Amino acid sequence: KLQKIGFILFWLPEPLGITNAIGGPMILAGRYLDKVYNGSTIKDVGHATKKFARHVTEIKDNMR
């Protein structure tokens, strides 16, 4: 979805080119997320990050 929004912003006609500066990185980020997380949404990535952080905290607590 991030990649689609990036394409839309990239192709909007605008004299200053601000949308191109925003759209390009969004396209790249969307492609990266699609490769790494196999099409997961940003919400899924956030959930996985929280789960990983909890796991690291549990390991630290067990080492004490």
Tokens of 21: 């500066």
Q: Which domain holds residue 10?
A: 2-63
Among residues 20, 19, 21, 26, the alpha carbon closest in space to that of 5 is found at 26
CB 57 within 8 A of CB 50: no
Mean pLDDT of the chain: 79
Report which secondary-structure segment, H or E, holds 19.
helix 18-37
Smallest Cα–Cα separation from 9: which of 30, 29, 28, 26? 26
Number of structural domains (the chain) is 1
Which pTM does this prediction carry?
Answer: 0.46
pLDDT in tens, 13-36: 777 777 777 778 887 887 887 777
